[in-house]
Chains A and B, each alone.
Chain A
Amino acid sequence: KAGVTQTPRYLIKTRGQQVTLSCSPISGHRSVSWYQQTPGQGLQFLFEYFSETQRNKGNFPGRFSGRQFSNSRSEMNVSTLELGDSALYLCASSLGLDRGLLSSYNEQFFGPGTRLTVL
């Protein structure tokens, strides 16, 4: 079974531009979550989508948005890029069927990440 894929793997943008990152989850997984990793803040949760609906959201400004399509693929968008948005963006997928329960359905599997550099 293929793993989580993310495109592009590397991206260089300038301040003020916007960017769209894509994530394809493991086949059969309906939940997609996004995380940002920076040296200063570590790994932080951005948001989660399940069945095309945002189910959970982290503490990031509105410049960060996302969506999920009917095939569970997800995109995240960052508008008006700032230097501080330079980071590794990781996508994770899970079955997501039993939210909040002690079930392996909650186990998250990560993609290889997109490394975004903002100049």
Chain B
Amino acid sequence: GIQVEQSPPDLILQEGANSTLRCNFSDSVNNLQWFHQNPWGQLINLFYIPSGTKQNGRLSATTVATERYSLLYISSSQTTDSGVYFCAVGFNQAGTALIFGKGTTLSVSS
């Protein structure tokens, strides 16, 4: 069935370190988004990236749709980067629904 798997589940970093979060998905996609969930629960859009590479400041993302994975890179981590990062995928067979991974919890300490 449709699956979205994120790794690692938890990540602990010192401020200034770099990190890579991975999202594997099981089928052809029509949508792939990365979100950061803030402590109040709101999902903040980071990238809409069903294919290709994008960069926004210290964050960048790459999706290789043919190999069914996406990567989120965070460089020079700051304490404000802490929180839960979700990958959400839209599959052709599921219409417009986003299927979410379980998330990666990132903790950055100073």
Using a CB–CB cutoff of 8 Å, the interface residues on chain A facing chain B are 31, 33, 35, 37, 42-45, 48, 50, 55-56, 58, 88, 90, 92, 94, 96, 99-102, 104, 106-113, 115
Contact = CB atoms under 8 A, between A and B. Distances in A.
A45 B31 contact: no
Interface of B: 30-31, 33, 35, 40-43, 45, 48, 50-51, 86, 88, 90, 92, 94-103
Contacts of A99: 95-96
Contact of B40 (A37, A92, A112): A112
Nearest to B31: A106
Interface pairs A-B: 3 shortest CB-CB: A43-B100, A45-B97, A110-B43
Given A31-B96, A42-B102, A106-B30, 16 more contacts: A33-B96, A42-B101, A50-B96, A56-B96, A88-B41, A100-B30, A106-B31, A106-B90, A106-B96, A107-B31, A107-B33, A107-B45, A108-B33, A110-B42, A110-B43, A115-B41
14 contacts: A33-B98, A35-B98, A35-B100, A45-B97, A45-B98, A56-B96, A94-B96, A99-B96, A100-B92, A102-B50, A106-B31, A108-B31, A108-B33, A111-B42
Contacts of B40: 112
Interface of A is mostly: strand
